[in-house]
Amino acid sequence: MARVALVTGGTRGIGAAISKALKAAGYKVAANYAGNDAAAEKFKTETGIPIYKWDVSSFDACAAGVKKVEADLGPIEVLVNNAGITRDTAFHKMTLEQWTAVINTNLGSLFNMTRQVIEGMRARKFGRVISISSINGQKGQFGQVNYSAAKAGDIGFTKALALENAKGGITVNAICPGYINTEMVQAVPKDVLEKNVIPQIPVSRLGEPEEIARAVVFLAADESGFITGSTLTVNGGQYMV
């Protein structure tokens, strides 16, 4: 019987690629999204993957959303914490709203979502929790104190939760993408990408969303049960750890 996978932020960019790759690998996939109804409906029409709208920064919304997904598809066995936002500015200009919005969505959501499914995973003696962190959570980034703090927190969350659940058939891992060819990166002026970003990447190109998705499928597999507490860097050699 196909395992159920839930992908937050799963209808656009990296999340959409993850949702599609998991479906192609035989999973029953649910894709969460927060606000872009048009993009979500287009994704649903094109892929046949069911979509569910809620704000991952709200614990209560996550509880209700997971309950609906499990009622429709069955117990969630693979959770991909992918949803994230940016509110970039230098720290001395950063507002409390810019700080809390990023921390609550990019880090708080890991608690809000994983807390809904971890007891079921423990009871069934199987689970996969995969969180999408970032290269900037590893090395830091100018203008992203909020984002870098949240993404670094994702890695700490991963390591501690992995330790707590390693004996129970549950693996917890993080993936740190580098610069990926998504709408967010495409919004950067072309000359900035070509002069400042791509020259820093040893493979001399942006990554593709599908390359992150392949890493998720690998970590989600039953056969990946000996990999836990790990951080997989997918950044073209830009930052090596």
Q: Above pLDDT 70, what percent of the chain?
A: 100
Q: Residue 185: pLDDT band by 50, 70, 90 thresholds? A: confident
Residues 6+ apart with CB under 8 A from 98: 87, 89, 146
Q: What is the pLDDT of residue 241?
A: 87
Q: Tokens 């598809």 belong to which residue?
A: 73
Mean pLDDT of 81-102: 97
pTM above 0.75, yes or no: yes
Neighbours of 126 (CB within 10 A): 18
- Give the pLDDT band (50/70/90) at residue 184: confident
Beta bridge partners of 78: 5, 128
At 48 the pLDDT is 98
- The catalytic residues are 147
Q: What is the per-residue pLDDT for 183?
A: 86
Spatial strand order of the sheet with 51-53 comes to 51-53, 28-33, 4-7, 76-81, 127-132, 170-177, 231-234
State how far the Cα of 117 lies from the Cα of 169, in Å rounded to an integer.
14
pLDDT beyond 90 at 149: yes
- Residue 76 pLDDT class (50, 70, 90 cuts): very high
Is the pLDDT reported for residue 189 higher than 90? no
pLDDT interval class at 188 (50, 70, 90): confident
DSSP state of 207: B
Question: How high does pLDDT run on average in the chain?
Answer: 97
Task: Please give the Cα distance from 190 to 170 (Å, whole number).
Answer: 42
Query: Is a pLDDT exceeding 90 seen at residue 28?
Result: yes
> What is d(CA 146, CA 102) in angstroms, rounded to the nearest whole number?
6
147-172 burial, b at 16+ Cβ within 10 Å, e below that, comes to bbbbbbbbbebbeebbeebeeeebbb
**CA gap 10, 18 in Å, rounded:** 7
What mean pLDDT is predicted for residues 74-86?
97
